[in-house]
Chain A
Amino acid sequence: MADAAGVSRPDRTRTWLAALLPLVALLVFLLLFLRFGPAGVFTGSFPPVEELTITRVTLPDRGVLRVHAVNGGPAPVTVAQVLVDDASWVHTVDGSRTIGRLESREITIPYPWVEGEPVVVRLVTSTGLTFDKEVAVAVRTPAPDARYLTTFALLGLYAGVVPVFIGLLWFPFLRNLSQRWIEFFLSLTAGLLLFLGVDALAEAVELSALVPTAFQGLGLVLLGLVGTPLVLAAVGRRRRGGGSASPVYVAMLVALAIGLHNLGEGLAIGAAYASGEIALGSFLVIGFLLHNTTEGLAILAPLTKSRVTLGLLAVLGLLAGVPTIIGAWIGGFTYSPGWTALFFAIGAGAIVQVLVELARLFPGDEKGSIAAPLNVTGFLAGMLIMYLTGLLVTA
């Protein structure tokens, strides 16, 4: 780098030319391939493989369905007809019926859907291929008005914020523990987080299957999963200048990771609520509530020996809890599998980093190692708690 600064102007031009030459060669080669290459063998005699993803079906009003479709395939797709519940229906498309690659359209159908019953929308393309989407429970899609913003905020508050703060009430208890038991709770935290991370990753992978192919759902998951811990590690290194992480920093990190996870959870709640499924049971909220209380405990574990102000606790609680509300808003109004998969992956990635930092808090000697029987018990207990409270969530 130091040498480069001293290089004179003509040489710099040469460097640039040297960098561009392969690009020019590549371009020429590409044009030759397209013009004379053997790819023509595969095209022409078959209709192109069509791919259309219905990302969302909304029910903006009584008697109206709106289909959001994205062409994630290699070739343009023409939507010729629309079937709803196995019947042909008139409809309008906001733009050309031919949807180019990566383009999207909204299709509006005047359909007398029945509240509480399923609706299946099927798009028929010009080649006769069909693309389906089922609305499991038809309910009017909430518009982002004050009433729904409040509803989702309350939902996020119940499921995310309050439980985290309740968890923080364990602080005085943790404070009086011996080093041995502190490590037990750190292990417990690690177990909780690992379970949450795997859970988030599974959600992300599952959702990635719903992402239009061109947007590479798994790629998004990989970016979130690997990118997040790397960025957090880089930030952390900068903050502490190479030394070991401060307990407050680790707690912040835990809160952030949980927050990101809860954002994904909020997205799921919002989306489910908007599509009518969560309306089937407030049981889900109860499940999340119990599940998330343990997250407060996880945030506190690194802080047992630090000086902690009420302000810091509040910040940690908000960091972990508030994203649930934001997620519920986003999920309720503009749910997209791609974004949700990415958020879950970011949550999982953050947890990876937290686990690394947590591991560093253990002294590492014979007694204080992660493999000490009490710590192993803590780790397993953490996962078990998540498993058992998770049973309540999967309604």
Chain B
Amino acid sequence: MSDQNDRAPEGKDLVAPLMSRRQAVKWGALGTVGLAAAGTACVQRGGPLAAGDTLKGGLAPGHGSHHDMMAVGELRRDSFDPTAFLTRFDYGRESTLPSGQTLREYDMEATEFELEVVPGVFFPAWGYNGQVPGPTIRCTEGDRLRVHFTNSGTHPHTIHFHGFHPANMDGAFEVVAPGRSYTYEFDAAPFGLHLYHCHTVPLKRHIHKGLYGAFIIDPKEGRPPARELVMVMNAFDTNFDGENEIYAVNSVAFHYQKHPIELRLGEPVRAYVVNLTEFDPINSFHLHGNFYRLYRTGTNLTHHEFTDNVMLCQGERAILEFTYDHEGPFLFHAHQSEFAELGWTGMFVVRGPAVG
């Protein structure tokens, strides 16, 4: 590593000699939002970094004092918007059953469409309701869920919800042919962070193409108020060779690095992180400048661990709670460098507390 950095272009890159490869990810990110100059100053002086006054301006790619590990270009305007997806929860159509139980009804449709997974690269996706990941289904423990599923694709599909339900509501065996519908009905349990996905064979293809989403069952007593974010870790094998070319959170490589998520100083944050990466057995979530309380599967109200890095197997998920006490840009990314460098990298920008 040091060998590589010793040979970095002289006089061109002030930060390079100080950087490890992982740090390159960080400074690459900073440069993208125009923080490169400040970043350099920070490294040189070791001083604090204020986000507010450094987000203006910016340096042209290739001229900043950072490495240029990044996708180029911008998404098309009509593309899936990962920023909007972060905070969008689908509570369904709410009504009350004669028994007093809350009924939530959802419409889910499997369709085929082109998904822009990184600017300019279009993946032939299958997804629920025209998006990957599908809508984040949210309800409260004990609610009756009724999911009207229509298969508008050209292949058979199902929805397999993780959680408690009768055998015929499992989505494993009652395959829904193209043009057909099926209604899943069950009571939401146990509380926690779950997932749903198509359970039609071949599984690898049906899941990897995008038929999945997050499924949140809130505990009856609720969780403390917080800024809530949904983060589904996924990846795309764009050339179908059994290995992923693109890694992301919420489908678009480097999206939250190009469009950082803004947080407030002292604000409680809760991230619902689900691993739906196909072809790689594990993925991970590493947070910079902070630690989080880790609730595995979210089924317990006391946290399991206080950490800055969690490893999740395919289908595993965790709720992460944290609060930033420092302003400025903070990266989050897979701690597998390869995943990070192929797109699974994002950034929080922490600003001062809201006025008034």
CB atoms of A63 and B70 under 8 A apart: no
Is A89 among interface residues, defined by CB-CB distance under 8 A?
yes
Given contacts A90-B62, A115-B7, contact A130 B69 (CB under 8 A): no
Is A80 among interface residues, defined by CB-CB distance under 8 A?
yes
Stretch at the interface among B89-97, B102-110, B144-152, B335-343: B335-343
Chain B residues near A89 (CB-CB < 8 A): 68-70
CB atoms of A81 and B119 under 8 A apart: yes
A389 to B28, CA, bound (A): 52
Residue among B3, B13, B69, B72 with most chain A CB within 10 A: B72
Given contacts A88-B253, A88-B254, A91-B72, contact A127 B341 (CB under 8 A): no
Stretch at the interface among B120-128, B181-189, B194-202: B120-128
Contact with B along A147-184 (1 / 0, CB 8 A): 00000000000000000000000000000000000000
Is A62 among interface residues, defined by CB-CB distance under 8 A?
yes
CB atoms of A88 and B343 under 8 A apart: yes
Contact with B along A89-119 (1 / 0, CB 8 A): 1111000010000000000001110110000
Is A189 among interface residues, defined by CB-CB distance under 8 A?
no
Within the complex, the shortest CB–CB distance from B218 to chain A, in Å, comes to 37
Is A21 among interface residues, defined by CB-CB distance under 8 A?
no
Chain A residues near B120 (CB-CB < 8 A): 78, 80-81, 97, 126
Residue among A78, A82, A92, A129 with most chain B CB within 10 A: A129
CB atoms of B121 and A114 under 8 A apart: no
Chain B residues near A80 (CB-CB < 8 A): 73, 118-121
A82 to B67, CA, bound (A): 14
- Partner of B3 from the list A97, A110, A114, A130 (CB cut-off 8 Å) is A114
Is A124 among interface residues, defined by CB-CB distance under 8 A?
yes
- Partner of B342 from the list A88, A115, A128 (CB cut-off 8 Å) is A88
A114 to B343, CA, bound (A): 22
Near A by CB (< 8 A), chain B positions 1-49 give 3-4, 7-10, 12-13, 16
Within the complex, the shortest CB–CB distance from B100 to chain A, in Å, comes to 50
Near B by CB (< 8 A), chain A positions 121-140 give 122, 124-130
CB atoms of B338 and A86 under 8 A apart: yes
CB atoms of B342 and A86 under 8 A apart: yes
Near B by CB (< 8 A), chain A positions 51-84 give 61-63, 78, 80-83
A147 to B236, CA, bound (A): 47
Given contacts A86-B341, A112-B67, contact A124 B16 (CB under 8 A): no
CB atoms of A114 and B72 under 8 A apart: no
- Partner of A112 from the list B8, B121, B238, B241 (CB cut-off 8 Å) is B8
Chain A residues near B68 (CB-CB < 8 A): 89-90, 110-111
CB atoms of A88 and B9 under 8 A apart: no
Within the complex, the shortest CB–CB distance from A47 to chain B, in Å, comes to 8
Near A by CB (< 8 A), chain B positions 126-184 give none
- The B interface, classified by DSSP as helix, strand, loop or mixed, is loop
CB atoms of B254 and A128 under 8 A apart: no
Is A4 among interface residues, defined by CB-CB distance under 8 A?
no
Is B190 among interface residues, defined by CB-CB distance under 8 A?
no
Chain B residues near A126 (CB-CB < 8 A): 120-122
Is B239 among interface residues, defined by CB-CB distance under 8 A?
yes
Given contacts A81-B72, A87-B69, contact A63 B13 (CB under 8 A): yes
A125 to B239, CA, bound (A): 10
CB atoms of A83 and B342 under 8 A apart: yes
Within the complex, the shortest CB–CB distance from A50 to chain B, in Å, comes to 10
Residue among B16, B241, B341 with most chain A CB within 10 A: B341
Considering the complex, give the chain A residue whose CB is closest to the CB of B117: A128
Within the complex, the shortest CB–CB distance from B153 to chain A, in Å, comes to 15
A62 to B4, CA, bound (A): 11
Within the complex, the shortest CB–CB distance from B64 to chain A, in Å, comes to 10
A112 to B62, CA, bound (A): 12
Within the complex, the shortest CB–CB distance from B26 to chain A, in Å, comes to 14
Given contacts A86-B338, A112-B67, contact A128 B245 (CB under 8 A): yes
Near A by CB (< 8 A), chain B positions 215-239 give 236, 238-239
A130 to B121, CA, bound (A): 11
Chain B residues near A115 (CB-CB < 8 A): 7
Considering the complex, give the chain A residue whose CB is closest to the CB of B9: A63
Chain B residues near A122 (CB-CB < 8 A): 245
Considering the complex, give the chain A residue whose CB is closest to the CB of B16: A112
Considering the complex, give the chain A residue whose CB is closest to the CB of B68: A90
Chain A residues near B341 (CB-CB < 8 A): 86-88
Considering the complex, give the chain B residue whose CB is closest to the CB of A85: B341
CB atoms of B62 and A128 under 8 A apart: no
A115 to B71, CA, bound (A): 25
A61 to B3, CA, bound (A): 18
A97 to B73, CA, bound (A): 11
Within the complex, the shortest CB–CB distance from B134 to chain A, in Å, comes to 21
Considering the complex, give the chain B residue whose CB is closest to the CB of A97: B120
A112 to B16, CA, bound (A): 9
13 contacts between A and B (CB under 8 A): A62-B7, A62-B9, A82-B72, A88-B70, A88-B341, A97-B120, A112-B9, A112-B13, A114-B7, A124-B121, A124-B245, A128-B117, A128-B123
The 3 A-B pairs with the shortest beta carbon distances in the complex, nearest first, are: A128-B238, A80-B120, A87-B341
Known: A62-B9, A62-B10, A88-B342. 19 other contacts (CB 8 A): A62-B8, A63-B12, A80-B120, A82-B72, A86-B341, A88-B70, A90-B72, A92-B62, A111-B68, A112-B4, A114-B3, A122-B245, A124-B118, A124-B121, A126-B120, A127-B121, A128-B117, A128-B121, A130-B241
